[in-house]
Amino acid sequence: MTSYVSDVLFNEPQGRPNSLVQFGASLVFLCIFLYGWSVGEAGGVPWVLFFVVGTALSGIAESLPKTRRRAAGLLRLTAILIFVCLLVIIFLAPEYIIG
């Protein structure tokens, strides 16, 4: 199991199509947050910032050259940790997520 996770996490970056999808998702999440902030409901959507940062890091990891496997793996791991932090906050302090 460990070697499989290591192989998936530290494999070669997938290139432009995957990075564009990740950056596009990050932009959509950022637009959702900005909309909530502009109408005065930003207190209800701070969890979206976790998605903005996580998907942006994934997009950066996929856009690196194929020779930068270790850097891409570290960026992917950081994105996963950000999403895990969101899950921990949901269980430990749900009032932060709910508003």
Q: pLDDT of 23-45, one tens digit each?
A: 999 999 999 888 888 887 666 67
User: Is 6 a member of any domain?
Assistant: no
Is residue 1 in a domain?
A: no
Instruction: List, as one string, the DSSP characters of 48-60.
Output: HHHHHHHHHHHHH
86 is a domain residue: yes
Query: How many whole angstroms separate alpha carbon 56 and alpha carbon 81?
Result: 13
DSSP state of 93: -
Which of 34 and 96 is assigned the larger pLDDT? 34
The answer to whether residue 90 is domain-embedded is: yes
Mean pLDDT for all residues in the chain: 83
Per the structure, the count of domains in the chain is 1
Domain residue limits at 70: 15-98
**Could you tell me the pLDDT band of residue 79, with boundaries at 50, 70 and 90?**
very high
More confident residue, 51 or 38: 51
Q: Is residue 27 part of a domain?
A: yes
32 inside domain: yes
72 part of a folded domain: yes
Of 85, 63, 86, 84, nearest to 75 by C-alpha is 63
